[in-house]
Amino acid sequence: MRLLELHTRALELAAAVVDTVQPEQLVLATPCADWPLRRLLEHAVGQHRGFAAAALGAGADRAHWRDVPVHGDPAGAFRRSAERLTTAFATAGAAAEPAPLHLPEIGDGGPFPLDRAVGFHLLDTLVHAWDVAAALGSPARLVAAVEAEPPLAGELLAVAGAVPAAAGARGPGQAFAAVRAVPDGTGPFDRALALLGRDPSWSAPAGPAPAGTARRDFAKSR
């Protein structure tokens, strides 16, 4: 499945971003409201674990979707969980007829076909990698790397474009903000961000993020 190769590449690019995070930067604000960088990375690692469980037939158990502490080694936690997910997706994809996946945090929970589930996580991976890079003040390198691989950028944009955009699915209390307008000629990564309600020009406010109650991003409307 070509999509599995694109997903693996997305994880590689995301891991390269996470590799640059220093322990003292875990308090930085991110584009995810009320989520400091540590919280975002714990969510990402938890999603790796949840999608891996789903690929192996256990996705309906919400215990697999809990955020996972990254302690002082966010890069190691991210890479280890990403490797497990890659193996789980490959195992599922090797079946003659891959079983659908239960994803309790997305829409009605499914079950979803494997290719759709992989697409969901590819979107999650690249956009949260951008969140991390933006928190660190250097998202341009990631954007350029993704856009240098048109099949990967195209898949990201296609999945973002399939996210429901109706008013009831967007806004306060929802997983996504309203779709943003972007100028003609905007690249595919920034267009994908805008489709999800992200501001492609986001920059961190001064000072660390507050430690308030966080909302779960990319959870229900994909």
Domain residue ranges in the chain: 2-195
Non-local (6+) Cβ contacts of 79 within 8 A are 15, 18
| SS3 label, residue 170 | strand
Least confident of 38-47, 49-58, 146-155, 205-214: 205-214
| SS3 label, residue 94 | coil
User: Looking at residue 206, what is its pLDDT?
Assistant: 67
User: How far apart (Å, rounded) are the C-alpha atoms in residues 215 and 87?
Assistant: 29
| Average pLDDT over the chain, rounded to an integer | 89
Topology of 2-195 in CATH? Four Helix Bundle (Hemerythrin (Met), subunit A) (1.20.120)
Does pTM top 0.85 for this prediction? yes
CA angle at 38 for the pair 36 and 40, rounded to the nearest 5°: 70
Least confident of 61-75, 115-129, 174-188, 197-211: 197-211
Least confident of 122-126, 161-165, 185-189: 161-165
Q: Number of C-alpha atoms within 13 angstroms, CB side, residue 6? A: 24
User: How far apart (Å, rounded) are the C-alpha atoms in residues 4 and 26?
Assistant: 30
**Cβ-based neighbour number of residue 60 at 10 Å:** 15
pLDDT at 72 over 70: yes
Do 71 and 77 meet the contact criterion of CB atoms below 8 Å apart?
yes
